[in-house]
Amino acid sequence: MPDISEHEPALEKNYGDWAEYFASLGEPPYRAAQICQWIWKRGVLNASDMTDFGKKLREKISETIDFSFPEISGYVKSDDGTKKFLVKMPDGTTVETALLRMGPRLTACVSVQAGCPVGCPFCATGTAGFERNLTAGEIAGQFIVMEKAAGRAINNAVFMGMGEPFLNTEATLGAVRTLNSSKMRGLGIRHVTISTVGIIPGIETLASSGLGARLAVSLHAAREELRNELAPSNLKYPLKDLMPALRDYQRFTGDRITIEYALFKGRNDSLTDARELARLLHGLHSYVNLIPGNGNRNGYERSSPENILRFQSVLKSAGFESDIRTGRGGEINAACGQLKNPSARNHVPNKVLK
């Protein structure tokens, strides 16, 4: 039996790669479309089950391609229908992901890194440390294995799980292309959102890529000193540089930008904070997503519902469209800022469903 570990990983191949592979075997070009359909639309991750290939071709594929994919080790389900998955990569690296149910629609919240190097003090992922970047195939593969587990199509992908997408830009955009390609998963690009803490080079790369994925920016503060505390990346990419970059992005793409703002009691939830945010966003076509922050041991407490409503009223009076995010998955630590690398805390709750 050949050593599969030395073989080309199916996980990392795009349509062009498959076309070249089958050409090297003397097979017709349509074979590439067939295998992409099997993997990315049917979730079949074993060449021996791809029945429109002849037996000898299936054997050849099995001998030369590594079909190791991410695996779901277990999951926890909350009362609101959210599922948090423990996903193991082929090398044993583990990440957490979430599947959110919103009416009849499903949204996959995928991770781009094992851990996160940004270190936002209110975020569980950031306090767990950083292990490594995920590959494009590992990122897109999370979507496929969650879809298999759900037993139905997932409607949206949000790159809002563990890690900062634009500290792993090439792999992130590679995963977007895999999921979006009509030859592969075929997920509509307007159903894909990339969330960044404000890494300017990545924002510029997304703009020039022409992909058209939606952009969300985790702002959390409208003045430099406070944002340095809440989002340490601000020390390298401060608001004075980030805001012009967002305006350039908008001029280039014409797209509205989602601004994500997590509210914490006594930290960033005052009326003054709201007025500062309105001034900062002036002239930017944006939608503000207000997120009741999740408390943690670092002294961060969720803002009160009354303060959140007052904060929102300031933004609406200033002409900004704004909603308050409905928290999902909080009871299983699957909500915003709660995903944490299980390898750092041996986390698979006893009520995991096998």
Residue 328, pLDDT score: 47
Q: What sections of 224-281 are H helices per DSSP?
A: 224-230, 239-253, 271-280
Are 78 and 334 contacting, i.e. CB atoms less than 8 angstroms apart?
yes
d(CA 306, CA 31): 59
Confidence of residue 327 (pLDDT cuts 50, 70, 90): low
Report the amino acid identity of residue 111: S
Residue 242, pLDDT score: 98
Question: Which member of 36, 109, 123, 336 is catalytic?
Answer: 336
Nearest to 179 by CA among 212, 139, 121, 215: 139
Convert the pLDDT of each residue in 81-92 to its tens digit.
889 899 999 999
Q: What is the pTM of this model?
A: 0.90
d(CA 231, CA 118): 7
Average pLDDT over residues 29-40: 96
For 308, other C-beta atoms within 10 Å of its C-beta total 18
d(CA 247, CA 44): 43
Residue 233, pLDDT score: 96
Whether 331 sits among the annotated catalytic residues: the reply is no
| Averaged pLDDT of the chain | 89
d(CA 215, CA 205): 12
Whether 96 sits among the annotated catalytic residues: the reply is yes
Is the pLDDT reported for residue 4 higher than 60?
A: no
Torsion region of 20: left, alpha or beta (phi above 0 gives left; psi -120 to 50 gives alpha): alpha
Nearest to 185 by CA among 157, 205, 211, 226: 157
Report the b/e string of 172-210 with b at 16+ CB within 10 A: bbbbbbbbbbebbbebeeebbbbbbbbbbebbbbbbeee
DSSP state of 36: H
Domains delineated in the chain = 4-66 (1.10.150.530), 71-344 (3.20.20.70)
Answer with the residue of higher pLDDT: 353 or 155. Answer: 155
Convert the pLDDT of each residue in 109-132 to its tens digit.
999 999 999 999 888 776 777 999
Residue 295, pLDDT score: 73
The long-range contacts involving 347-351, CB below 8 angstroms and separated by at least 24 positions, are 347/86, 347/96, 348/73, 348/74, 348/86, 349/76, 351/76
Residue 103, pLDDT score: 85
Residue 347, pLDDT score: 43
Question: Which member of 36, 96, 123, 131 is catalytic?
Answer: 96
Tokens representing residue 23 in the block: 């050409």
- Percent of the chain scored above 70 by pLDDT? 90
Convert the pLDDT of each residue in 180-203 to its tens digit.
999 999 999 999 999 999 999 999
